[in-house]
Structure 1
Amino acid sequence: MRSIWLIAKSVLIEAIRRKEIYVIVLVAVSVILLTGMVKFFGYQGMSKFYREISLKIMNLATALAVVVLAARQLPREFENRTIYPLLAKPVGRLPFLAGKFLGVMLAGLFCYSMFVILFLAGMWHLEISLSWVLFLEGVYLQVLALLVIASLSFMLSLLFNIDAAITVSVLIFALGGTVSSAIDYIHDHVKDFGRVTETLSIGDLFMRALNFGIPQLSLFDLSGKVVHATDISNTASGLAEITRWQGVEPWVLGALTLYSGAFVLLYLGLAHLMFMRRPL
């Protein structure tokens, strides 16, 4: 455990020192400027605009930072030949991979916490109400999504080059629902390809495996509900705040936790197998 923590700590320190972290800072500055613009307009409906844009930036920018960090960890170690003295010590490949993964997640959580603080500061500045239950559930689900996308990036970095791994991971995160719809569309056209029996075909099996092998990360996005959870409505007694969305049921959170855990174990397991088979 100590070796895992030491590797994770070194990844976190290196991430803070490198340029990736400054991308988060630049986006954070843009959110601050956006906050001032919304305040300038002085229109009640602009508060939803602020919430929606800020949450999208939080999720996408943090995921991008996690993907870039995760996809570069192992290839950079091989390229710089720094992996050899590490594995020459009593550090196995599994603890090494676990330490790298933990370090990337710590760096991602550090970035995400910056966004959360900035978002809440903007909400306070604009005097906008917030559904705390939905917001905290949304933060939790985004952390689960980051776990999945980080493990996927590690696996893809051992399968493709760095650029391809980053591109595929970002597309899966940003276009989760679209990717699923595209798979369903393609499935309708290739389901009869290579038919083996009346109910079984190679095309059908391949597309089903592809659909189950790609995580539906849109399930972890509660930003839409957080944005529209509360609203201001005209009543007989004047303006009043109404609640449009309640919190997610605990069993749903539990199911999504198991869903994300299954993908994390799958991707890290495949990454470990490819890492073990890779000659030093």
Structure 2
Amino acid sequence: MRIAVTGSTGLIGSALVRSLLADGHQVVRLVRQRGRTGPQPDGTVGVGWNPHLMRVDTAGLEGVEAVVHLAGAGVGDRRWTDAYKREIRDSRVLGTEAIAGALAGLKDPPAVLVSGSAVGYYGQTGARVISETDPAGRDFLASVCVEWEQAARPAAEAGIRVVHPRTGLVLSPDGGAGARLLPLFKLGLGGRLGSGEQYWSLISLADEVAALRFLIDTPELSGPVNLTGLEPVTNRQLTEVLGRVLGRPTVFAVPEFALRTVLGEMAVEVAGSHRVRPERLLAAGFEFRHGDAEAVVRAAL
């Protein structure tokens, strides 16, 4: 199968590309640097695009059978200034509009567009268990996710099956929150954040990649699909698991006011709660390799 991927150098995208290549698929990377277009040493092909200018080299997408769109500015990469919040929003919404419009205009469009989203769609939901039927929240990230998903509408209107993987916390030492948390816990400096009672919906990188591929290969799935592990855990429970698996103390704690001082508005996400279940993924027959929090942690280590 010939599959195009945006965000192919990020944590999830790079792992997805490796998985696809290992199984003999042809991979087209959408890249912003002109020098990286054309055939690449790893066997992929680079195709140019500019999400902010909404430009896509559509000729390079002809013959693509599936597209996985993961590109977007990292939510946790910087403090949320007004300018960076615009970057978070625009990188997702404008990029998705560009991809969806380009695919809709192809003479032979792909069968499926897996267009990224996140559990932030639901806003802060406390201890309530959330599935795909729950409504959107009202905070900043929820509003971004709503626009992000709506931006893929031109592809769906063109008859392309569109799936929105609402991804949870992908735990990995190679990027995201895991790249910051795991080294601290290895040094014995880890501990709960805020109250510790907020729910985090974890998923291992291996299960995230397998789930994305499952979405490509499962024609009955469209619309939102939660990509989270089987057991959402509280930050306190995750702290205990990390301490037990690593054999390190977890006596430190960061109070919520300190999180707000250091992180600003982004502290809402760190101290906030998303207890999300992957109901549609399970109903479609997906099988997790790392079902509980300890398995996810051991996979990350």
The TM-score by the shorter chain falls in which range? under 0.3
| Higher RCO (CA 8 Å, separation ≥ 6 residues) | 1
Determine which structure has the larger strand proportion and give its number.
2
Which of the two has higher C-alpha Rg? 1
Determine which structure has the larger helix proportion and give its number.
1
